[in-house]
A and B are shown apart, each in its own frame.
Chain A
Amino acid sequence: MTTQGPQKTIQQAILNNLFIKIQKTSTAINQVTEWSLFVLGFAMAIIIATQVFFRYALNHSLFWSEELGRMLLVWISFLGATVAYKRKAHIGIDFIVQKLPGNLATKIRILTYVFSLCFFSIMIIYGTKFTLFIKFQKSPALGISKSIPFAVIPLSGIFFLIHGITLLMETILSESKK
């Protein structure tokens, strides 16, 4: 026991250090994401309102507004979902887990994080593959590479993964302190 003691505290210190670094990254990413949500959301509203204005006031339909708006929607949806994940705002069915004894509930919570991390990894791996796959396809109205709007899936996957690891470590560390 005496030999294990100091070793365990060193491990603990390394883990704590790593945790603080990941936590900082996660917070920084989240701040940037939140600001981009504001910019993208505001832009989407203005673009669609402009589309109406052009059609009625100037009698001239914009050809690019709908496509750009849809791209913004996809970006807002996936980036916003990472912020919701960071805020633990995604809706789940928690009334069964709540009824379980604390120890088992924590174990299940850790399990849910692990499953979620698997899903995020799929978003990253296959999202990246698909982004590269459609590199040369051009969007019909704007003529930009289809990879640009699609890249939000692997990108948000990375953000999800970092937030998820932070939440997982938070749970594990708070458990081991007890």
Chain B
Amino acid sequence: MTTFVLFFCLIFFFAIDVPIAIAIGISSVIALMMKSDLSMMISVQRMYAGTDSFPLMAVPLFMFAGALMEAGGISRRIVNLADSLVGWMTGGLASVAIVSAMFFAGISGSAAADTAAVGSILIPAMVDKGYDRDFAGAVQAAGGSIGVIIPPSIPMIIFGFLTGASIGRLFAAGILPGILMGLSLVVAVVIISKKRGYGYTRKFALRTVLTSLYHALWALGAPIIILGGILGGIFTATESAAVAVIYALGVGLFVHRELHVRDLPRIFIDAAVMSSIIMFIIAAASIFSWFLAIEEIPKLITGFLLSVTTNRIILLLLINAILLVAGTFVETTASLILLVPVILPILPNLGIDLVQLGTIIVVNLAIGMLTPPLGICLLVSCSIAQNKLSDISRSIVPFLAILLIDLLIITFWSPLTSLIPNLVLPTH
């Protein structure tokens, strides 16, 4: 009964546009109120305990690092490097948008931040060169979604926090799938650009590649520190994020000198607010998942799923379908917290390991960021391209199709996710 009330309230509050965190919080509180007064005390305690975590500290820290790099002129250097690498291809600028987003994904842990950072340079550039607005916006949104696949990745940090999976291994597992997604998107871009008749920006020249590589060296240092540090076992994900913040401050203030001390408060405040939106959802959802746990709901749902089928392929497809639908309508962090406890008990029946499951889940949610009406990457792109959501939504379809194929490959071909983690971070 209380569970029914919980889900009824949740859907009702979601539907009338109560902010997601508050909707989750208040529905859980209503359900708990039907139990006892003591549980109300515990619910505030859960909110605190939900955010009091060392791994989660990486969320604001990676936001700080990304925002500082962006303000320090790193995006522009990365775009120039990508331009020298792939600008010669048909639909050059659009490929540059994807490849830049891949590089930026190595610095930023958020797909929305990735889309905004690269898109604010490349969407206007594409429109200038005669690309259609809807195509420019769609390409950038698709590229930006890789931001949460190539490490660092905030959804992966949250997955690690929820399941106890090693965040280092999760990060390592995201590298190859991220590259696969990026390259397949570039192929799609070239094919579409041939049809639409978009040209290239420059002829390929090794000299230009080398000069832009030289200029981007400091920018590329950030992913090397983050990944190298974590994969080399030198520090934890949280520590790597703090080191990245200091690195970004140093490079921005003293090397590139494009970061100004007077801008620091604004950068830190805005990034802290961005991360608080995620953290507040985690806090409120901690009450929710506590309630589910004491009512043994995940067990019930798992039992139901397994009574339908125990075939691992059907189960995997089913999980993907559920995640895609959830990713379309619910914000990423909330989807993770609501669904991971339900999916986790099925893991032994899936024939994959925890890290691969995490990667599959995050890829699904990344695709959810590209689907209307709530795709965050789509919305960011839309506002930069000053285009209608419905137009961009049409142009995103071919990219979605490609990413769904990638998703199937990632789901059913485990070496893609296990190769790098097993190579650099073997489990004992």
Contact = CB atoms under 8 A, between A and B. Distances in A.
B276 interface: yes
B265 A38 contact: yes
Interface of A: 34-35, 37-38, 40-42, 44-49, 51-52, 56, 66, 69-71, 73-74, 76-81, 83-85, 87, 89-97, 108-109, 111-112, 115-116, 118-119, 122-123, 126-127, 129-130, 133, 149-150, 153
Given A38-B264, A40-B272, A49-B243, 12 more contacts: A49-B245, A51-B239, A69-B57, A70-B54, A77-B60, A77-B279, A80-B276, A92-B23, A93-B14, A97-B16, A112-B13, A153-B44
Contact of A80 (B242, B279, B373): B279
A176 to B, nearest CB: 22
A38 B272 CA distance: 8
Nearest to B43: A126
A81 B279 contact: yes
Nearest to A164: B22
A52 B235 contact: yes
A119 B45 contact: no
Interface of B: 13-23, 25-26, 29, 40-41, 43-45, 47-48, 51-54, 56-57, 60-61, 64, 234-235, 238-239, 241-243, 245-246, 264-265, 268-269, 271-273, 275-277, 279-280, 282-283, 329-331, 373-374, 376
A77 B43 CA distance: 17
Contact of A130 (B44, B243, B268): B44
B51 A74 contact: yes
B17 A90 contact: no
A58 to B, nearest CB: 15
A41 B64 contact: yes
A76 B15 contact: no
- Which of A42, A84, A111 lies at the interface centre, i.e. has the most chain B CB atoms within 10 A of its CB? A84
A119 B268 CA distance: 28
B29 A119 contact: yes
Given A76-B60, A95-B373, A45 B246 contact: yes
Given A96-B16, A130-B41, A119 B64 contact: no
Given A44-B57, A45-B245, A70-B52, A37 B17 contact: no
Contact of A49 (B26, B47, B242, B269): B242
Contacts of B239: 48-49, 51-52
Contacts of A46: 242, 246
Contacts of B52: 70-71, 73-74, 149
A79 B21 CA distance: 14
A37 B271 CA distance: 10
A150 B48 contact: yes
A36 to B, nearest CB: 10
16 contacts: A34-B269, A41-B269, A42-B268, A44-B57, A45-B245, A48-B239, A52-B243, A73-B52, A80-B273, A84-B280, A90-B277, A91-B277, A92-B23, A93-B374, A96-B15, A130-B44
